[in-house]
Amino acid sequence: MKVTWTLQDGGTRTADVAPGTNMMEAAVANGINGVVGECGGCLSCATCHVYVADDWADKTGGPEDFEDAMLDATEAERKATSRLSCQIVADDSLDGLHLIVPTP
C-alpha cells in the first residue's frame, strides 16, 4: 500500500508500506524527519506524533484511551486528528493514507 507524508518543510514523500507495518516504523524506514519513535512503538514516548489528513481520519479511527493520554505529552500542538503513528497499522483499507508531520 502507499502512504504519503506531508513533511515539516511542506514537501511530500510517498512510499510503499507493507501490510502489518505500523506508520512509525514506515516513517523511520523512509527517513521521515520529525517522526522519531524513541520507544520503538511501545506507546510510551509520543515522539511519533502525526496528524491524519482530514479525509482519512474516519478510516484510521481515533486513539484508544492510553494513546489519547499520551497525545497530551506531544511536543507539537495536539489537534482533533492527532495520532501516534505507531498505533496506525497498514492494511489494504488504508492504501493512499496521508499523514502530516507536525512542526514543533
Is the pTM for the entire model greater than 0.85?
yes
Asked if residues 102 and 9 have their Cβ atoms less than 8 Å apart, the reply is no
Q: How many CA atoms lie within 13 A of 2 on its CB side?
A: 5
* Residues 5 and 17 sit within 8 Å (Cβ to Cβ): no
Report the alpha-carbon distance of residue 68 to residue 93 in Å, rounded. 23
- Phi, psi for 83 (deg, rounded to 5): -145, 155
Please state, in angstroms and rounded to a whole number, the distance separating the CA atoms of residues 94 and 90.
6
pLDDT at 6 over 90: yes
Q: What is the pLDDT of residues 32-59, one digit of tens each?
A: 999 999 999 999 999 999 999 999 999 9
CATH number of the domain residue 82 falls in: 3.10.20.30
Q: How many domains would you assign to the chain?
A: 1
What is the residue range of 10's domain?
A: 2-100
